[in-house]
Amino acid sequence: MVLAPEHPLVDRLLKWSSADFRINGNITAKSVWIRDTDGTRCGPYALSEAIHAAVGKAADLVEVESHGDSSDCIVADYRRLRASQSNVAKHTEALTQYRGQVSKKSDLERTDLAKEKTGVFTGAYALNPVNGERIPIWIADYVLISYGTGAIMAVPGHDTRDLEFARKFNLPIVQVVQPPDPKTDWRGFVDDGTSVNSTGPDVSITGLPTPEAKKKITAWLEAKGLGKKTINYKLRDWLFSRQRYWGEPFPIVWKTAPDGTQYHEALPESALPVLPPPLEDYKPTPDGQPPLARAKDWVNLPDGSTRETNTMPQWAGSCWYYLRYLDANNRSQFCGVESERYWMGGVQPLNRETVEPGANATSDSTVQRFNDSTKPGVDLYVGGAEHAVLHLLYARFWHKVLYDLGHVSTPEPFFKLVNQGLILGEDGQKMSKSRGNAINPDDILAEYGADAFRLYEMFMGPLELVKPWSTKGVEGVYRFLGRVWRLFVDEQSETEFEQGLTVDPAHGAELLEKVQLSAAIQPVEPTAAQLKALHACIKKVTEDLEAFGFNTAISALMVFLNEAMTWEVKPCSVLRDFLLLLQPFAPHLAEELWSKLDKSPIANRQSPIPLAYQPWPKVDPALLVEDTLEIPVQVNGKLREVIKVPAAATSQELEATALAAEKVRPFINGKIVKRIVVVPKKLVNIVAG
């Protein structure tokens, strides 16, 4: 069980008596993700289901939220806290110190998914009334008092944050959900599966699919009078409590009624936007008032009303900034109707008539959707996992408000979401100044250049994975770029450039202009083998870029380079296409070499176009067709030979070649060939006996 450091139970633990604490909780609070038709994640939906128990005296109740969608949190959720006074007293100093540290953090810092988990054991335990198991109670900063109950039943086996927490503090990790695919690792598995290890004396949900398990345990708890089903929304205060001068002012004024009561009114649209007044001193006020309260002339209006001095925490703008990009020069609207529909591509008016703002954009009589092949919303949103809980949650909330009001045409703001993994220090830990393991990008740029830095970050591994930094890895891609350079330039010319640069580094640009292309680069037609190597590279890089497989795309470039370095004659057209493929990864080097090709006599180009404006090369599948195939030959299921045959070989030709193979004959001589199984272009299996 994990509590927010501000939870009142922690205060009671610090003032421990022999009181018997009864802890009741929430069940099956699941963070639901909306999925579009192809299963892409577009964003987190702010909805949770929970069971709140009502056991014991009100003064003794502490609600516990179990936020995994797994069965262990269902059967192990309701707890009665029992602990000796002396055991908790041992942890009082650590609890007090930790709470002080957490009080200095914002909710944004505490819920950063990329940060290292922290926490403190309270010394107390909770007992599960269903099966009697004892559960340790911890406090951790990733649990917020402002959300839900401020206490959760940690499910390390099936919740990623709890799994990190359990691994950090060596806590037990129990499997309670079996993934549909037995090969899937159950640790950290957060989707639906089959309940396991979820049996108590009076109730069992073992063997049930997750949705049925939830229903059964809910019915059991309600029948026992232990809980009821509720809805728990994840929207919460995101730094509103931290008032800053540069936050967005609320367009609200306060007035006094004849009876002396205060009421508020929204400012008219003509008064928007409300801009903060100029202040010389924008630090927090000593009396706890927002900084805007210092601007008395701005706050107190001539009619006796006063402005609201609280501000939004500067994310009011960041939650809809993507919409402003669509029509940034529009002075009358945040985004024009036609611009929004053109770029977001969700719904369009019938007969292309404009839908008036305020009209219900979901009405079938007003709008019609584009065909199913469209990607409504922002095509791609790339951001760290730390944005998922707060920024994307609120962006989605605001977008849905605008959608319901008819100002936007798509129900979801983002079509596809990709979270890049965190880059750790070389010691495998999160980079921080305190650890001394932070990497200064300026140092890398000065030593290896921007292209090598950029290329290495993409070559480190899959985009979504957490990866440790390696300076030796930068050196590796730096050498690769050096080989690309040598593929294009004349060796003697390169030597003279390096010598001149050593003597006179201030004139590097002038020296670079004197570097000549290799004489091996010629305006000749490429051979079939050269075209095959090029188009294999085009195919691989194109497919991997679409799938965000940057590391494997770079590997394909390396494979091509290795082969091209062996060519005695290097066709200019092939190398030009190679530079097009290299450009997204190493734009500076690629553009420099492209320029040299265009300026050379062999290019024969009348109006050179910069590399950045060139169309992407297209793969020709016909050039990738293999002339010959390698076919494994088995005898009674055991591999005996691999034969080479023409790609167009028939089944009869495959049989004849397999039977005549030198390494196959000893295993069939003197035996009856009962059957020959031919899988075209794949396999030949001879059954002999």
Q: Does the residue 135 lie in any domain?
A: yes
Averaged pLDDT, groups of 10, the chain, 689 residues long? 59 42 31 28 27 30 40 24 49 83 75 76 75 80 72 83 89 92 90 90 91 87 76 61 81 94 93 90 81 93 93 76 93 90 69 40 38 69 71 84 91 87 88 87 94 96 90 95 94 86 84 88 94 97 95 96 96 96 97 89 67 93 87 94 90 91 92 92 92
CB proximity list for 413: less than 8 A, separation 6 or greater: 42, 43, 322, 377, 378, 395, 396, 399
Give the residue from 406, 436, 469 where a domain finishes. 469
Is-contact 266 215, C-beta < 8 A?
A: no
- The H helix count followed by the E strand count for the chain is 21, 30
Q: Are residues 428 and 413 located together in one domain of the fold?
A: no
Q: Are residues 42 and 174 located together in one domain of the fold?
A: yes
Q: Measured in Å, how far apart are the chain's first and last C-alpha atoms?
A: 65
Is-contact 311 250, C-beta < 8 A?
A: yes
Q: Are residues 128 and 215 located together in one domain of the fold?
A: yes
Q: Are residues 42 and 177 located together in one domain of the fold?
A: yes
Q: Quick one: pLDDT at residue 376?
A: 86
Q: Are residues 39 and 183 located together in one domain of the fold?
A: yes
CA geometry: angle 179, 180, 186, nearest 5 deg: 15
Tokens of 246: 């540069």
Helix/strand/coil (H/E/C) assignment for every residue in 518-581: CCCEECCCCCHHHHHHHHHHHHHHHHHHHCCCHHHHHHHHHHHHHHHCCCCCEEHHHHHHHHHH
Q: Are residues 568 and 580 located together in one domain of the fold?
A: yes
Q: Which domain holds residue 639?
A: 627-688
CB proximity list for 599: less than 8 A, separation 6 or greater: 608
Q: Does the residue 380 lie in any domain?
A: yes
Cα 393 to Cα 50, 222, 277, distances in angstroms: 19, 31, 30
Domain count, the chain: 6
Is-contact 435 449, C-beta < 8 A?
A: no
Helix/strand/coil (H/E/C) assignment for every residue in 23-63: EEEECCCCCCEEECCCCCEEEECCCEEEEECCCCCHHHEEE
Q: Are residues 23 and 117 located together in one domain of the fold?
A: yes
Q: Does the residue 180 lie in any domain?
A: yes
CATH at 632: 3.10.20.590
Q: Are residues 589 and 546 located together in one domain of the fold?
A: yes
Determine the distance from the C-alpha atom of residue 625 to the mean position of all C-alpha atoms in its chain, rounded to a whole number.
Answer: 37
Q: Quick one: pLDDT at residue 386?
A: 63
Q: Does the residue 652 lie in any domain?
A: yes
Q: Quick one: pLDDT at residue 585?
A: 97
Q: Quick one: pLDDT at residue 443?
A: 94
Q: Are residues 8 and 151 located together in one domain of the fold?
A: yes
**Beta bridge mates, 468:** 424
Is-contact 199 208, C-beta < 8 A?
A: no
Q: Does the residue 241 lie in any domain?
A: no
Q: Are residues 258 and 196 located together in one domain of the fold?
A: no
Q: Are residues 298 and 328 located together in one domain of the fold?
A: no
Q: Does the residue 242 lie in any domain?
A: no
Q: Would you say how long the chain is, in residues?
A: 689
Q: Are residues 343 and 451 located together in one domain of the fold?
A: no
Give the residue from 280, 312, 344 where a domain finishes. 312
Q: Quick one: pLDDT at residue 146?
A: 64
Q: Does the residue 240 lie in any domain?
A: no
Q: Does the residue 237 lie in any domain?
A: no
